[in-house]
Structure 1
Amino acid sequence: MTKAFSRLLLIICLLGASATAQAGDAASDNPFERIGHIVVIVVENRSFDHVFGLFPGAEGLEGARRANPQIDRDGRPLPYLPGLDTQQANAPFLLEGPLAGPEKIDPIHQFYVEQEQINGGRMDRFVEASNAGGLVMGYRDARGSRQWRLAQDFTLADHFFHPAFGGSLLNHFFLVCACAPLYPNAPDKLVAQLDGEGRLARKQTSPKSALDGVPHWRNVGKVTPDGFAVGTFLPFAPLAGDQAEGEVLPAQTALTIGDRLSEKGISWAWYAGGWADVVSGRSKPYSGSDNFQIHHQPFIYFQNFGPGTRARAEHLKDEADFLEDARKGTLPPVSFYKPVGRYNEHPAYAAFDAGDAHLGEIVDQLRASPNWSDMLIVVVADENGGFWDHVAPPRIDRFGPGTRVPGLLISPFARKGFVDKTVYDGTSILRTIEVRFGLAPLTARDAAAADFRNALEPLGQ
């Protein structure tokens, strides 16, 4: 063998080794390659300070006590928090006694109202712009809750913001399409009336001070003046039998994360408590002990998942299916789970403690599943429910993000007892699914969102 040929052979071998190494590096570029099952559990209407304000190591109430005081409608600090049985100082306060039980008031959590409450990041108009007065400043001692223990055992994200200002329907849309629904040419009665500063216009009869009563708006509305649906609507087609009372949203045609997964042949499902009973007509939505919430089921608003479609039959399932799939180890690679109304933690019609216990039971069953060995569970509140938080959300676009909410990342690979300071919002869920399964982003929002890699132990540990 000549020296020249030997050198050529050596070069070829080195090039081959380099190519193999590069291919191996490319294969390991995915930070979620260990994750075979992503499960997203969506609860309701709690801010971070409201639930985890006392959690050690989190940006909680110690920082909150140095936050801006709540101001009145004239811009001056309120002398005390209005609307409570006893005079309460203008500061966050512990919910005790009856106030710590099942809440009787559902604080307003509306698209334009929340923007006014955030007040450019000063977070100081939550009281004056609420129907619940000073109650929105209350926080829970949640140290005995299942969520607290899960945060101690796994990862708590303390900069997780709900994706869009306002209520459940809009935020559930952002969780599945990173988009706001469209309602072109909406009737005037549905369109929000704004003042010259872009806030909701108030009536002349509106009290001048929060100490004298709640605001009187001209028309809160459900649609922006340029045709985005930001309030609560019913889907374009009834689930079964009689449709509930309310305005109906036109069928939506935007692509969802479900469409992206299906395009690539990746199995997925949206599981909902009470789904089978409602679609069969055995129970009615918004009633009874279950209190099934139609507007918490985002996929039924999209034409691709309309009644009679194969996609609806294949991907929209009941809680019983979820638990059975978990038990047998047959969960799809991507699962969403929405608890039925009475267990979703929503103030006024659900209790925090009951929802917390239910969440703990669900996580226990997931951890007992054969699928647990490669699972990532994301637990997040859909929005803040009108409750105050002291951390200003980042400014991304006209829709949000909104206020900080509790976020838990639970996995055999999650950092244990870790408080993750990464800035997330609801579209981070989409981004994580997209990165894991090689999917194209749906919109600019999820394309730019941080995924959850920082919550996982580094590879090899």
Structure 2
Amino acid sequence: MLKTALARRFGLLGVSLATLALSPGVRAEDANNQIKTASPIKHVIIIVGENRSFDHLFATYVPKSREERVLNLLSEHIVKADGTPDEKFDRAHQFQVTSAPNGASFFISAGSANKSLYSKLPAPDLGGVQAPTGLPILSIPGGDPGLPAADQFLFGTGGTGLPVSVGPDTRITNVNNLPPGPFQLTGPTMPYDAYTADTIHQFFQMYQQMDCAIDKEHVSRGNPTGCLHDLQSFVTTTYSTAPGGTPHDTGQTMAFFNMQKNDVPYLKFLADEYTMSDNYHQPVMGGTGPDSVPLGFADQVFFSDGNGHAVTPPASSIYNPDPLPNTLNQYTVRKQWFNCSDQTQHGIKPILDYLGKLPYPVQTKCDPGAYYNAVNVNPAWTPQGTPSGAGSIPPVTMTSIGDLLSAKHIPWKYYGGAYNVSGTGAPLDGIYCNICNPFEYQVNYPAMRADHMRDVTDLFNDLKNGTLPAVSYAKPDGAMDGHPASSKFDLFEEFTKNIIQLAQSNKEQWESTAIFVTVDEGGGFYDSGFIQPVDFFGTGPRIPMIAVSPFSRGGHITHVYGEHSSFVKFVERNWYLGKLSERSRDNLPNPRAEDENPYVPVNMPAIGDLFDMFDFDRGHDHDRDGGGDRH
């Protein structure tokens, strides 16, 4: 890779990139180095795990440097270093709604007249997790190629050891008598290396969990958008439990790991050594599919005719979150699509009313007649480039960051775990994440495959061989992505560690490489951070983001507001690409914030471009635009 000096402009060489890359004696590495960039970074990788909020992982993290500050449960005095409640535990109190705040219609907030404090947290659930001796992946010959041989044993540890898979998770200390707020998940009988229950994390449910309103009960100087995060357990429990049934999907949304007790050790190490953000968010309310799409589009996909025109999906697939009669939160119809341009559609008006009262103008980005997905919906194409068939999202003609890179002959690849075996019927078939790959929604995906779609095992080889493209996405398969129930977070940590160590082993390449480590979304887990709505879809709660690079050393913590569209902005800025569309979030300005509250941009809506996570030499071309660069 490049030394820290910026390479001379490729255009001065008088040959095309393709010619240079194929010329005898010229490495692909050298070809990448000739592409003009706004920073010394010539290679960027984003590693995307699954379903963990910032406070869920970093609740008790303490910065290595005394000059740094972090906003988490410990610094807010919500919990102590030992994981027990602190003096301001009431800031994270959880409430139950006792009477319908919005009549027979969907609601996203409740006032004191409509809710009461839980006497104790609904007992966290096993949620179907059993696996007394680990998951069946152990029986796969050779294990999972996404991890080194030394780590394969992790797939066979962490089972519950319990004879049941429903009801309270008795591995959790004091599970039936937890106070109504955050609790430490790990303890004497619950190791960090454990499979634990999932929890609800979809669009309408998450809006309710956040309890956002513009009124005197919700808004404060430090929280001008009025999101209290205090209906987490109420929503999961009442949505998932049939009237009169055994409570299900209950208090696990309030769980957190404790870094003071050696939980999440590798991400703690990365935060200590490199740059972390404590103000990076999932881009939208909801789950994996809608939250992965912005990594490619800085926008949301919609139901179309396959030629770029919005059309109405079948009536049987339209979502209706209004509660059933005699319930508070049993949704009438849980399906795929909603039309947020029409406030007469079920569930839409409460969100539009809230956005209209914000102290800054927000464009909803709800195109007339367009239907957007409320849940995970399969993309247009299979990984093999064949049509996904009925029920999938029709191909979209939206421009992706991949399109912009290809137009300038800048190499890029999406590396997905188990991509090579997907659709083959072989072991590990079925755990490639199709909804995680934003490019599979595009009409031109089949033509992209040959040059741009790879397995993560190919990433390992490219790291070793110095053939890493300029821009890389790395997505682990479902067994090691850290998703609750189906995976565990130490597996994702080992996956991440493997990639970073391989990258660092190629010293020349490493000198101009940056690796972003994040997850797709918070998984419904509690987070205490500020939320900035930038359109109808979000943003949502905070999630982890760490930048690992020779240019991000030192344990710095940045507070610039970001989300997955920030990665798109970083790539656009670093490789001089321009914008994706007139409506995409990459058009939003970089945030400006005041010292007394660095988490709330004064120029909302605003999204950063991640340049603030690096400390580049002043002599380089930074293409400065007020983005909060570290200097």
Q: TM-score range by the shorter chain?
A: 0.7 to 0.9
Report if the CA contact (8 A) 1:123-1:392 is conserved.
no
* More moved, 256-265 vs 361-370: 361-370
* More moved, 265-274 vs 448-457: 448-457
Answer yes or no: is 1:381 the counterpart of 2:471.
no
Query: 2:317 maps to what in 1?
Result: 190
Report if the CA contact (8 A) 2:401-2:568 is conserved.
yes
Distance 1:100 1:83, change over 3 A: farther
Distance 1:398 1:99 in 2: 39
Query: 1:236 maps to what in 2?
Result: 380
**How far does the alpha carbon of each residue in 1:385-430 deviate from its partner, in whole angstroms, 9 at most, with x for none?**
0101011211211111111001111110014111111111111100
- Identify which of 137, 155, 159 aligns with 2:254: 137
Report if the CA contact (8 A) 2:412-2:469 is conserved.
yes
- Code of the aligned partner of 2:204: Y
Report if the CA contact (8 A) 2:513-2:549 is conserved.
yes
**How far does the alpha carbon of each residue in 1:200-240 deviate from its partner, in whole angstroms, 9 at most, with x for none?**
2122253x5xxxxxx42212322113511232122323335
Kindly report which structure 2 residues correspond to 1:161-172, keeping only aligned pairs within 5 A, or say none. Answer: 161-172=281-292
* More moved, 133-142 vs 273-282: 273-282
Report if the CA contact (8 A) 2:416-2:474 is conserved.
yes
Distance 1:101 1:189, change over 3 A: farther
Alpha-carbon shift at residue 185 of structure 1 (Å): 1.2
Query: 1:365 maps to what in 2?
Result: 502
Report if the CA contact (8 A) 1:274-1:319 is conserved.
yes
Distance 1:69 1:175, change over 3 A: same
- Identify which of 89, 107, 120 aligns with 1:80: 120
- Code of the aligned partner of 2:55: D
Q: Give the secondary-structure state (helix, strand or coil) at the position aligned to 1:83.
A: coil
Distance 1:316 1:46 in 2: 26
**How far does the alpha carbon of each residue in 1:304-350 deviate from its partner, in whole angstroms, 9 at most, with x for none?**
113xx2x2211011112111111011101111110111110001111
- Identify which of 59, 75, 98 aligns with 2:71: 59
Answer yes or no: is 1:356 the counterpart of 2:517.
no
* More moved, 109-118 vs 92-101: 92-101
**How far does the alpha carbon of each residue in 1:321-380 deviate from its partner, in whole angstroms, 9 at most, with x for none?**
111111011101111110111110001111112221221122111121342110111111
Query: 2:608 maps to what in 1?
Result: 450
Unaligned runs of 5+ in 1: 1-29, 194-199, 209-214
Report if the CA contact (8 A) 2:517-2:545 is conserved.
yes
Aligned-residue CA RMSD in angstroms? 2.2
Query: 2:180 maps to what in 1?
Result: 90
Poorly superposed stretches of 4+, deviation over 4 Å = 240-246
Provide the TM-score with structure 2 as the length reference.
0.62
**How far does the alpha carbon of each residue in 1:24-67 deviate from its partner, in whole angstroms, 9 at most, with x for none?**
xxxxxx99421111111111100000001111132111327242
Distance 1:458 1:35, change over 3 A: closer
Unaligned runs of 5+ in 2: 1-35, 63-68, 79-87, 99-114, 125-174, 213-226, 241-248, 304-310, 341-370, 589-606, 619-630
Alpha-carbon shift at residue 284 of structure 1 (Å): 6.4
Report if the CA contact (8 A) 1:154-1:409 is conserved.
yes
Give the count of matched residue pairs: 412
Distance 1:295 1:156, change over 3 A: same
Query: 1:334 maps to what in 2?
Result: 471
Distance 1:386 1:395 in 2: 17
Answer yes or no: is 1:201 the counterpart of 2:207.
no
Distance 1:47 1:64 in 2: 18
* More moved, 226-235 vs 37-46: 226-235
Kindly report which structure 2 residues correspond to 1:143-162, keeping only aligned pairs within 5 A, or say none. Answer: 143-144=262-263, 145-162=265-282
Distance 2:558 2:37 in 1: 16
Report if the CA contact (8 A) 2:275-2:613 is conserved.
yes
Answer yes or no: is 1:431 the counterpart of 2:589.
no
Identify, as 1 or 2, the structure richer in helix: 1
Query: 1:123 maps to what in 2?
Result: 229
* More moved, 268-277 vs 144-153: 144-153
Q: Give the secondary-structure state (helix, strand or coil) at the position aligned to 1:335.
A: strand
Q: Give the secondary-structure state (helix, strand or coil) at the position aligned to 2:574.
A: helix
- Identify which of 177, 181, 185 aligns with 2:297: 177
**How far does the alpha carbon of each residue in 1:161-203 deviate from its partner, in whole angstroms, 9 at most, with x for none?**
011110111111111001111113112232111xxxxxx2122
Kindly report which structure 2 residues correspond to 1:19-30, keeping only aligned pairs within 5 A, or say none. Answer: none
Report if the CA contact (8 A) 2:294-2:438 is conserved.
no
- Code of the aligned partner of 1:447: N
Higher normalized contact order (CA 8 Å, seq sep 6+, divided by chain length): 1
- Code of the aligned partner of 2:572: E
- Identify which of 108, 117, 129 aligns with 2:200: 108
Report if the CA contact (8 A) 1:102-1:347 is conserved.
no
Query: 2:419 maps to what in 1?
Result: 275
- Identify which of 444, 452, 455 aligns with 1:304: 444
Distance 2:415 2:524 in 1: 26
Kindly report which structure 2 residues correspond to 1:239-318, keeping only aligned pairs within 5 A, or say none. Answer: 239-240=383-384, 247-283=391-427, 285-286=429-430, 291-306=431-446, 309=447, 311-318=448-455
- Identify which of 341, 347, 350 aligns with 2:484: 347
Distance 1:202 1:360 in 2: 45
Q: Percent identity?
A: 25
- Code of the aligned partner of 2:610: F
Report if the CA contact (8 A) 2:415-2:456 is conserved.
yes
Distance 1:182 1:92, change over 3 A: same
Answer yes or no: is 1:221 the counterpart of 2:360.
no
